[in-house]
Every structure is written in structure tokens, then in C-alpha cells.
Amino acid sequence: MSTNDRRLISLRPSSAPPESTAQVDASWDDETVPGLDLDDPLNEFDRVTAIPELPAELYAQRVMESAKDSRIPTKAAPLPEPPPPPAPPEYFSFESGPPPGRGSADSTAPYAAISPQSAPTARPAQPAQPALPTIPVRSPGVPPFSPSPTGLELADLNFDSLMSIKAAPRVEPQVTHDPRDPVLELSFEEVGANELPKEPDTGPVGEMKDRYAMGDFSGALVVAEGILESNPEDLEAPRYAQSCRDVLTQMYSARLGSLDQVVTIAVPSDQVRWLTLDHRAGFLLSLVDGGSTVDQILDISGMTRLDALRIMYQLLDQRVISLG
């Protein structure tokens, strides 16, 4: 990523979910990313869903600096097309590609666009929300559109770049927001001389947005579900929750690889009880019979697909199971 492209944005980062997760780069692989030391307990990128140890503002700054282009388009120009995703160092294949006959626009590219709709989700699609342009829901059969840069572009995140980010001096914002986008926070330009800056939302909604912006999708999801529990009519929480689920599902699916792999137990049976597992992991483990694939076990897991993927990944990470 060219340093010339880096633009510091001192205003509060937009916490709108991306319009589409089609460009999510979930191909990160700890073993192939140089400089990423998982054993380093201070490594803040060990788990992208963890809350970073840096102050929120600084962390958000660093994240935004690494963005290829701003989420905020220029006033006059139409929303630009995002650059094509870079070729991955090694091929990564999503099994949850578009169904046959509904090929995406670039179906022959190494990356086929991922449809949040085609990836199994734990919850049924949310009912139509009031029109907010940042997260349109793609109907089946409709080819994926280019994501708007108004959302956080996870595809633009590159761990190599993040590792080399140094704190840059604060500069005045040089971009303006699209006034049509109501999700964005007010920019400093819009604040009148006699007006006090708007207080950032410190409530649950604000926390949800902050966590989402910082890449803590697990945390954002927990907060979103908490909001829905206390206020089922909330408009933003369902969208954030669904987006978090989609992203997390893709991330865990990417970690597991092909869902057609057969799952086997990697520890001797007499040692299983000495592991540190909960009953849900124990149930998932009981479904492993040495012949069922990841996909089959997910189908009969009795829990949401996201939960099952998360537990399956944890079991793989702890080397309790192996895939082959």
C-alpha cells in the first residue's frame, strides 16, 4: 500500500457496516503472513475479534490509515468502484460460492464474490429496514455489486501493512462525506463555530459501532444481540448483527478450509475428558465419527452455523480434531 494513499481521518470513524462483504479478504493465514508472531502475547492481531490494547482512537487511526481508499467519497464524484482484490499468495477457495447458474460477474477470478445470502446464516434474513444505502441486502440471483467505500472495507486490510504502520501526525481531514449517507457521523466541517462538537454516543449502540469499526466482530455481535434483547425494535442492531455473523462465518469457514474435509478426532479417546471443553464442544465432538465431513457435522450440530463453525475452529486450533 502506497504511503501516498494514506489519509488520516481524525474524525470519528464511520461505523457503518459494509454494503457487501463480497470483498472480505478472509484468506489471512497466520502461517503465511510474515512478521505475524502468534506466540507473542502482545500481538494484537492474534485474534482480529479481540479488543486491541491500543487506545481506541489511535487504533482506529491506524486501521483507517491502512485503508486503500477512503470510505468517504468526494462530494461531486460518484461512489468509486473499489480496486480489484489483490491476488492472494496462495489460492483460497470458498465452498459457499454463488450457486450454479448464478455466476458472479467475475466467476472465473480466483476470488468468487461471496454472497452473504449464500453462506448459511444462523438467523433468517431480517425484515426490510428503513432505506439506508450502506447495507443493501442482495437477493438471490442478483449478481454482487461493487461495495461502496462508505463501509469499512475489510478487503483493504492487510496484515503486512498493519504491522508496518507507524503513528502518523494528525492532519486535517481532506475529504468530505456524502451528505446522502445518514449513517456517517457529522464531520468537523459541518460543525458551526459556535456549536459544541457532538458528544460521541457512549451507549450500547455506540459501543457496537466502535467495536465493529475496530474489527471486533464478536464483541460487536454480543452488543448488538444485547441491544435487540432490550429493544427488539432497534433498527441498526439487526443490520450490524447480521453483518457480524456473515463476516465471522466467512472468517471461520476460511480458517477451516474446505467444508468437504472429513473430521477425525486427533486425541486418544481416554484423554478427551481431560480437555478443557464445554458441553457444546463436547456435543460437536460426539458427532465426529471419522466419516462425516465438516459440512455434515455443521448440518446436524443443533446450533447456529456460526456457533458450530466457531467451536469447530477452536477444536481444530487446540488440535483436538484434524481435517483431511
Partner 1 sequence: MERVIGIDLGTTNSCVAILEGDTPVVIPNRGGYKTTPSVVAVTEAGKRLVGHIAKRQAITNAENTVYAAKRLIGRKWNSPQVKNAIMTSSYTIVEGPHADVRIKLRDKTYSVPEVSSMVLQEMKIVAEDYLGEPVKKAVVTVPAYFNDNQRQATKDAGAIAGLDVIRIINEPTAASLAYGYGKDMDRTVAVYDLGGGTFDISILEIGAHGVFKVISTTGDTFLGGEDFDARIIDWLVTGFQDEHGIDLRQDRMALQRLRDAAEKAKCELSGVRETEINLPFIISTGRNEALHLQRTLARPTLEKLTEDLVERTVDICKQALADAKLDVSEVEDVILVGGMTRMPAVQTAVTGYFGREPNKSVHPDEVVAMGAAIQGAALVQDRQDMILLDVTPHALGIMTFGSYFEELIPQNTTVPTSRTKVFTTSRDDQTAVKILVMQGESKRADENELLGEFILTGLRRAPKGHVEIEVTFEINTDGIVSVHAKDMENGQAQSIQVTATSGLTQDEIKNMMDHAQDYLVERRTDEHFEAAKQEAETLIAEIERLFPEIERVVGSADFGRDAIAKARTTVDRTRAAITSKDTGLVKEQVDQLSRTQRMFKGVVSRG
Residues within the interface to partner 1 (CB under 8 A): 91, 93-94, 97-100, 103, 107-110, 112, 120, 122, 258, 260, 269, 272-273, 277-283, 285-287, 291-292, 296, 299-303, 305
- Residue closer to partner 1 (CB basis): 92 or 313: 92
Contact 139, 117 (CB under 8 A): yes
Q: How far is the CB of 297 from partner 1 (least distance, A)?
A: 9
Whichever of 43 and 118 has its CB closer to partner 1, that residue is 118
Minimum Å distance from CB 287 to partner 1? Answer: 7
> Residue 290 CB, nearest distance to partner 1 (Å)?
11
**List of long-range contacts for 202-209, beta carbons under 8 Å, 24+ apart:** 205/234, 205/236, 205/237, 208/15, 208/236, 208/237, 208/240, 209/15, 209/16, 209/236, 209/240
> 164, 165, 159: which is closest to 36 by C-alpha?
159
For 206-241, letters b (16+ CB in 10 Å) and e give ebbbbbbbbbbbbbbbbbbbebeeeeeebebbbbbb
Which residue number, 184 or 241, has a Cβ lying nearer to partner 1? 241
Looking at the Cβ atoms of 123 and 198, the one nearer to partner 1 is 123
The C-alpha cell of 16 is what? 457503518
Number of Cβ atoms within 10 Å of the Cβ of 256: 18
Residue 252 beta carbon to partner 1: minimum distance, rounded to whole angstroms? 16
Residue number with CB closer to partner 1 (146 or 296): 296
Residue with cell 457487501: 20
**Smallest gap from residue 100 Cβ to partner 1 (A):** 5
